[in-house]
Each structure stands twice: as C-alpha cells, then as structure tokens.
Amino acid sequence: MTILVTGGAGFIGSHVADALLAEGHEVHVLDNLSTGRRWKVPEAAPLFEHDIRSDGAAALVAEHEYDCLVHHAAQMDVRKSVENPGFDADVNIRGLLNLMEVGIDHGLQKVVLASTGGAIYGEPEYTPQDEEHSLRPVSPYGVAKLASEKYLYYYQTQYDVATVALRYANIYGPRQNPHGEAGVVAIFTREMLGGGQPVINGPGEQTRDYVYVGDVVRANLAALTHNGSGVFNVGTGRETSVNELFRMLRAETGTNVDETHGPAKPGEQERSVLGYRKADHELGWAPQVPIEEGLARTVEWFRSRYTAEAT
C-alpha cells in the first residue's frame, strides 16, 4: 500500500513509519516539524513539510492518492488545550477533516487514528477501563479526540472508508521528547542521566498505564490488516504509580537522586488503566513488553544518546 504517516517525524509516528517500510509499504511522512525532528524520519520515507490544516497538505493527498492514512499529527498538550481550546480544535479536528475531505475523493481506503485512552474516559468507574466505559473527557484535547473518532465514523458510514481509532495509554520508549509536558519516563530519565533532579507532581500516587512504543507499533500494524473498523484500547491493564515509576528508573539508571515532590497539578487525573481484551480478540494484539524491560530499553537508548551528545 501507499501510506501517509502524519506526525511521522515525531516519537510514535517515526517508529510506525519504520515498521511500515519494513513491511514493504511505500511510506510518505507529513510533518510541520513544530515538535517533530528530521532525524527521526526514516531515510526511505520522503518528508513533506506541511501543516495538516494547510492547502499544501490537501494537495499532497490529492496528488499521491494514498491507500491509507495513519494519523499521528496532533496538538497533544492537554494543558495547551485548556489554555486555547480553539487552537486545539483547529489542529486536531479541522486538520483531520482537511485530509479526509480530499482523501475520500482520491482513493483513500483506510484510516488509523492515534486517539487517547485516559483523556477520553476520565476517572475510572471501574478498572481496567474498556471501550464500553463512559466517555467523560474533561479537557479540550480529550473532547477533540472523541470528536475525531465520531467524524471517522461518519466517513466510514457515508463513504465506506475503513477507520480504526487506537486509544493509547501512556506511551514511552526511545525517541520520546524529554522536554515539555508529555512523557514522564523521558523527562525523568533525562534528568537522572544528566545529573538533574526530577520532581514528582503531588504525592506521586497517581497511576497510569505505561505501554512500550514497540507494542504500539504492533497495534498500528494490526489495525492496518484488520478487516473492518472499530475503536480499540492500546494499553497493558497494569497500573503504575509515579512513585513506583521513579524508583524503577532510579534503579535502572543507577543514580541516587532524591525522591522529590512538588505541587500537584490542578485537576490531574488520579487513575488511568486500559483493558485490551477487545484488541486481543479482534486485532490479535496484546502487549508483549513488560514495563521493567521497556524501561531498560528506554534508559539504554537515552544513555547512548546522552553520551553521544556529550562527546
């Protein structure tokens, strides 16, 4: 297939692009490089530097008539979405529609959307949260991702385009950006290896479901070959508190930094953990990398990169 990976210069998208090329697909990357980096884009995948909302992006879809869109480009900062809901909706909703409106007239057959688990479900009524859990997004980012899922359902029913939304848990692994709001594993690892002092927000008992990026890549490949449409959680069903995560990373990095706590983030979700039974049953996907192994791989990558930067 010919596949367009949006956000393919980013953390997850670049890994997905690598895997699709390895599977023998023709892969193009669309990224405006606002947060993505050129060095993450596979050499065999041409990079087109456009914003997903732009006429240039629409023209690209029309020209190449892609079979499949794997959509990872997004405004992904929850805090920014609260500060500016209009901008969040403009990128995350209008950007998707810009690509879809052209794609449906130019041969698009399938769409895989990077959606969100915790930000859509909100605080759990039960755990692990499955796809039937109440949808109670409390941030504009979560609202926009839910709206994107609904728009894809519209295109599926009206234009017979197969659509799969993958509701991600907290993803970590090599190439994750250690700067900014997202990616506590990357932030902590970078601080520890660089001689800094990581700060845990609040008491640190808030839990998340951490899933390794390699497992997420496998979920994308499974979604592409899935004969149909649907919404699927991509998580491990295992809760890990921030305090536990800190201690595992401290042991893995071999550092002796103090367990330091700062102010809690206002409105931060206390728990999030995603069940993957539906993905296992319908996609044949289940997580394979336990958090201990995934953290070891991640720390090793950051250690090698930090050493390279220092020389």
Q: Which residues are catalytic, by number?
A: 141
Q: What count of other Cβ atoms lies within 10 Å of the Cβ of residue 76?
A: 24
The structure tokens listed for 41 are 């884009």
Between the CA of residue 108 and those of 2, 46, 61, 105, 196, what are the distances in Å?
10, 19, 9, 8, 47
Element (H, E) at 48: strand 47-48
- Residue 175 — left, alpha, or beta (φ > 0 → left; ψ -120 to 50 → alpha)? left
Residue whose entry in the numeric block shows the structure tokens 């992006």: 57
Between CA 124 and CA 118 the distance in angstroms is 9
The structure tokens listed for 56 are 């240039």
Asked if 175 and 42 touch (Cβ cutoff 8 Å), the reply is no
Between CA 249 and CA 185 the distance in angstroms is 8
Q: What is the largest CA-CA distance in the chain?
A: 58
Element (H, E) at 308: helix 291-310
The structure tokens listed for 181 are 């709001």
In the 3-class helix/strand/coil scheme, how is 110-177 assigned residue by residue?
EEEEEEECHHHHCCCCCCCECCCCCCCCCCHHHHHHHHHHHHHHHHHHHHCCEEEEEEECEEECCCCC
